[in-house]
Amino acid sequence: MRVVALPNGCNSVVWYKVEVAGKSLPVLTNFDKGRYGVFVFENLGKYLRMDKWNRELLDKYCREYSVGLVGFNPPSEETLVGAQLRGFPLFLHTNLRLRDAALNAASPVLRLTRAGETVRGPLVGEDWSVFSPNHSTYEALEWAVRDWGPEGPPHGGEGEEESDPKRPLITVIQDHGRLDGIERVLFGSGLRFWLHKLLFLDAISYLSHGQLSVSLTRHFLVDIDDIFVGERGTRLTRDDVQALLATQKRLQQMVPGFRFNLGFSGKYFHHGTAEENLGDDMLLENADQFLWFGHMWNHQQPHLYDNITQLEIDMTLNRNFAKEHGIPVDSGYSIAPHHSGVYPVHEPLYEAWKRVWGVRATSTEEYPHLRPARLRRGFIHRNIMVLPRQTCGLFTHTILIERYPGGRAKLDEAIQGGELFQTLAFNPINVFMTHMSNYGNDRLALYTFESVVKFLRCWTNLRLTSAPPLQLGEKYFQMYPEEADPVWGNPCEDARHKRIWSSNKTCEQLPRFLVIGPQKTGTTALYTFLSMHPDISSNFPSPDTFEEIQFFNGKNYYRGLDWYMSFFPVPKNSTARYLFEKSATYFDGDLVPKRVHALLPHAKLVTILISPARRAYSWYQHMRAHGDAVAKNYTFYEVVTASDTSPKNLRELRNRYDPKKGFFCQVTNGDHTKCLGRSKGRQYPPMDERTYKLLQQFYLSHNTALVKLLKRLGSRHVPQWLKDDLSDTVVAP
C-alpha cells in the first residue's frame, strides 16, 4: 500500500512523504498533530480494505484535524457493474471506454482548473471507472459519456446505460463529508488524462484548506535564436515579420509584458534572398518592439575557442553590429549556440560574456541533463544566473507542418493538454527555445504559442505574464534559492555533454580515487607513499592548501570543473595510470557525497579509521604544539570533560575534536631522502588511563555502529584498535 502524506505549511512547493506500507500508516501520534494536510491513496481499494484499527485511527485523525483524502481507483481485471464501495453509499462501474469529458463549473474544488468547454473525443485508456452516488454528500467534479465505438450503443438491451447512451457518467467525485465528517476527492482513473493532473492539484489545495496550494502565476518568455542565420529560402520575409508583430500584439492582450526575445548573429545579416533581406531590414526598423540578446557573431560554438581573446573578438563584432543598427545591447542576457560552453562549463565563455556584454543571465536545456525536461534545474556560476530552458517541440528543421514528426495531430496533442501545455501549466517560470526558421514558411511557432495560450486560458485560471530575462532570473532564484549552488556532473557520462565539451579536455584527467580523511589519521603519510608508485600520480600542490585541493567541501567548488582539472596532469604528459587526490576535510563535509557522486561516479574512496579517543588526543597535542593557549593551560582530561558552564575558550577547544616517528623516508636522487615534515608523527606522552576510559565509554555507541556497518558491507575483518576500544565495554565480534 502506498500512502502519500502531504505535510501542511508548504505554499510555494508541495512537499510530500511517501509510505510504502503493509499494515502500517505514517506515524499519527500526538507529536504529529496537524502535521499532515492531505492523505493520497494511489489505490482506493487499499483504503477501503484497511484493517479496522488502522482505518479508525486514520479517520479519527482526519476528522480531528480536518484533513482530507484523495483516492484513485486503479485499473481492474474484474469488470464491476454497480458494486458498492465498502461502507459508503457509493457505487462503482469499471472497465469502461469514455469520451467527451467536462467539468462541474460550480464545484468549489476548482482553483487552478477552469471549467472550459468539453474535451472532445475518446479519453485515454479503456479501463475507466465511474461513480454512482446515493447520498447528498457527493457532488460530481468531472463527467464523461460512454464511448460505444463506431458500432454505437447496443439496441434493445436493458439497463440504465443502454436506455440513455449519452447520459453523463461521474469520473471524479467530491465527498463533502456530510456522512462521516471526512472530505474526499475520488478519481475513477489515474493521471494519464491531462485534466486529472490539474484536478489533483486543486484537490490537495481544497482539502488542505489552501495550505498546499501552488501559485497561479506563470512567467513566460520565448527566445528566438538564429536571427539573420539560416539558408536562403528558410528566412523571414517582410510578411513574416508583419505576422510576428501582429501575433505578438495579440499575445500581449493575453500575456501582459510579452515580447519576443530575439538572439542575433550579425555576420549573416543580408545573406538571404532579396525578399528575405527586406525581412532583415524590417526587423531592424522595429527593433524597439522586441527584446534582444547577443548570439555569437558567426554562430560558432564557444567551446571550440581555446583562446579567450578570439572569443572576445567574436563577441565584440556582434556588439558593434548591434550598436550600428540600433539593437539594444544592455539586456544582460546571452545564449550560446547549441548551449555550448554553458554546461558543461567552458570558463572562457563566462569570462568573455562578462567583459564584452556584461552578461548576468543565460539559459540552457542541458543542466543537469536534457531529459527528462521536468527535472531541468538552474544554477549560478561566476555571478551569471543560468535558467532552465524549455523546448516546445519546434527545432531548426521544423519549418513545415508536413515535416513535423507525427504531423499536425501530434503538434496539437502537445498543445491541447500535452507536453507543451503541461510545461506551461506546471512550471512557474518558462523560457522557451525556438529558432528564426520556425517563424517563416508555415509560421509554426506563431500558431503553436498563440494556440497553447488560448488553450490555457480556456482550461485554467493561470495568470500568464512575461518579463525580461534578468528579472526572470532574479525571480527564479528567489523561488528556488537551493538551486543557486551548482552540482558539477561528469561530462563523459552524457553523450550530448561530450559533444559540447572542449576537445582539449578529457575525463582521463579526473582522479580515479580519493583519500577523504579524516584529519589527524595519517592521510598525509598515505598521500606521500602512494605518490611514490610509478603508476599513480597525485594532484599538483595548491599554493593555498598545499597537497590538498579541498574542492568538494568548500569555496573552491564554485571555481568550477576547469579549475579542479588544472590540478591534474594531462594524460599525454604523464605515464601514470591512476590519478588521485587527498583532502582530509572531505570526511565530514555535508555536501561532499552528493558532489563527488555527480562528478566521479565510479571513483574509489579511501578513508583511514583510527581510535576516535586516540585521534582526539592527537588533536589536543597538535594544538599544544602549535601554541594554542587553552591546550597549553588545560590537561586533556579537563578539555574533554568541559561542561556548558566552563570557560568559552575551553568549550570551543573541546568541540574541535573530532619511539621515533616510525615512517620511512623516500629516497630521491642519489643518497638524498625526502621525509615528512616535523608536524607529522610527533612524539608525545601517552594518554592517561582515566581519560581513555572516559572516551572509550563516550564513543561506545559510535564504535558499535561501525562494527555493524562493517558487517553489513561484508567485511570479515574488524580493526584491532576497534576491538581494543570495545574490549572493556562490549564483546567485539
Q: Which residue carries 479508525 as its cell?
A: 56
Q: Are 376 and 389 in contact (CB under 8 A)?
A: yes
**Per-residue b or e along 361-392, where b marks 16 or more CB atoms closer than 10 Å to that residue's CB:** bbbbbbbbbbeebeebebbbbbebbbbbbbeb
Phi and psi torsions of 579, nearest 5°: -100, 145
Distance from the first to the final alpha carbon of the chain = 38
Residue type, 608: I
d(CA 64, CA 67): 8
Residue 635: CB partners within 8 Å, gap ≥ 6?
A: none
**Which amino acid is it at 324?**
E
Q: Pull the grid cell for residue 429.
A: 517560470
Pairing of strands 98-103, 138-146: antiparallel
520 phi and psi angles, rounded to 5 deg: 60, 35
Of the candidates 703, 661, 718, 701, the residue with the CA atom closest to the CA atom of residue 684: 661
152: cell is 454505437
8 A C-beta contact, residue 301 and residue 341: yes
Cβ pair 58, 25 in contact under 8 A: yes
Residues 309 and 306: their CA atoms lie apart, in Å, by 9
Find the largest Cα–Cα distance for the chain: 108
Contacts of 93 (CB under 8 A, 6+ apart): 80, 81, 82, 83, 129, 130, 132, 169
Is 553 within 8 Å of 581 (Cβ atoms)? no
For residue 469, give the C-alpha cell.
530575462
Instruction: Report d(CA 378, CA 367) in Å as an integer.
Output: 7
| Cβ atoms within 10 Å, residue 255 | 23
- At residue 642, φ and ψ (nearest 5 deg) are -60, 140
Partners of 131 in beta bridges: 92, 170
**Do the beta carbons of residue 730 and residue 711 sit within 8 Å?**
no
CB 199 within 8 A of CB 101: no
User: What is d(CA 378, CA 365) in angstroms, rounded to the nearest whole number?
Assistant: 10
Peptide bond into 344 cis (omega under 30): yes
Q: Is there a binding annotation on residue 618?
A: yes
Of 520, 572, 582, 632, the active-site residue reads 520
Helix (H, G, I), strand (E, B) or coil at 145: strand
Instruction: Outline where 147-273 has alpha helix (H).
Output: 160-163, 194-207, 238-254
Catalytic residue at 708? no
Whole-number Å distance between alpha carbons of 62 and 91: 23
- Which residues pair with residue 381 across a beta bridge? 384
Q: How far is it, in rounded angstroms, from Cα 542 to Cα 546? A: 5
Helices 238-254 and 444-459 pack at an angle, to 10 degrees, of 10
What own/partner pairs with CB < 8 Å and gap ≥ 24 does 645-653 have?
653/620, 653/623, 653/628
Measured at the alpha carbon of residue 49, what is the angle toward residues 47 and 55, in degrees to the nearest 5? 60
* Residue whose entry in the numeric block shows the C-alpha cell 497561479: 216
- According to DSSP H, which parts of 516-611 are helical? 523-531, 561-565, 592-599
Distance between CA atoms of residues 204 and 5, nearest Å: 11
Residues forming the annotated binding site for 3'-phosphoadenylyl sulfate?
618
Q: Which residues are catalytic?
A: 520
Residues forming the annotated binding site?
618
